[in-house]
Amino acid sequence: MTAAAATPALEIRAVAVELGGRLALTDVDLTVTAGELVGLIGPNGAGKTTLLRTVLGLLTPQTGSVLLDGRPAEKGRGTVGYVPQRHEFAWDFPLSVEKAVLTGRTHKVGWLRRPGAADREAVAEALERVAMTELRDRPIGELSGGQRQRVLVARALALRPALMLLDEPFTGLDVPTQELLTGLFRQLGAEGKALLMTTHDLPAAAGMADRICLLNRTVVADGAPETLRDPAVWLRAFGVARSDQLLTSLGVTR
Q: Tell me: the pLDDT tens digits for 102-146? A: 999 876 555 556 778 899 999 999 999 999 999 999 999 999 999
Structure confidence at residue 54 (pLDDT): 94
pLDDT at 101 over 80: yes
List, in order of start, the domains of the chain with CATH numbers.
10-250 (3.40.50.300)
Helices marked H in 63-201: 97-102, 106-109, 117-129, 145-157, 175-190
Q: Per-residue pLDDT for 195 more than 80? A: yes
Q: Burial letters for 152-180: b for 16+ Cβ neighbours within 10 Å, e otherwise?
A: bbbbbbbbbbbbbbbbbbbeebeeebbeb
Burial of 224 (0-12, 13-18, 19+ CB in 10 A): exposed
List all residues 6 or more positions away from 82 whose beta carbon is below 8 Å from its beta carbon: 52, 56, 156, 164, 165, 167
Contact criterion met (CB below 8 Å) for 100 and 151: yes
Rg of the chain over all Cα atoms, to the nearest angstrom: 18
Q: What is the pLDDT of residues 144-174, one digit of tens each?
A: 999 999 999 999 999 999 999 999 999 999 9
- The answer to whether the beta carbons of residues 31 and 68 sit under 8 Å apart is no
Model confidence pTM above 0.85: yes
Report the pLDDT value the prediction gives residue 96, as an integer from 0 to 100: 97
Greatest CA separation for the chain: 59
pLDDT score, position 238? 82
pLDDT at 248 over 80: no
- In the predicted model, is pLDDT for residue 253 greater than 90? no
**Whole-Å CA distances, 90 to 84, 86, 204:** 11, 9, 28
Share of the chain above pLDDT 70, in %: 88
Q: What is the pLDDT of residue 107?
A: 66
Spatial neighbors of 198 by CB under 8 A, at least 6 apart, are: 39, 40, 41, 48, 49, 52, 166, 167, 168
* Summary mean pLDDT of the chain: 88
Provide the pLDDT confidence category of residue 187 given band limits of 50, 70 and 90: very high
Q: What is the pLDDT of residue 3?
A: 42
The rounded distance, in Å, linking the Cα atoms of 50 and 150 is 23
More confidently predicted of 244 and 186: 186
- pLDDT above 90 covers a percentage of the chain that reads 67
DSSP three-state, residue 141: helix
Condensed to tens digits (0 to 9), the pLDDT of residues 13-59 reads: 999 999 988 999 999 999 999 999 999 999 989 999 999 999 998 99
Whether 2 has a pLDDT exceeding 50, the answer reads no
**Residue 235: other Cβ atoms inside 10 A:** 18
Question: What is the rounded CA–CA span in Å between residue 97 and residue 162?
Answer: 23
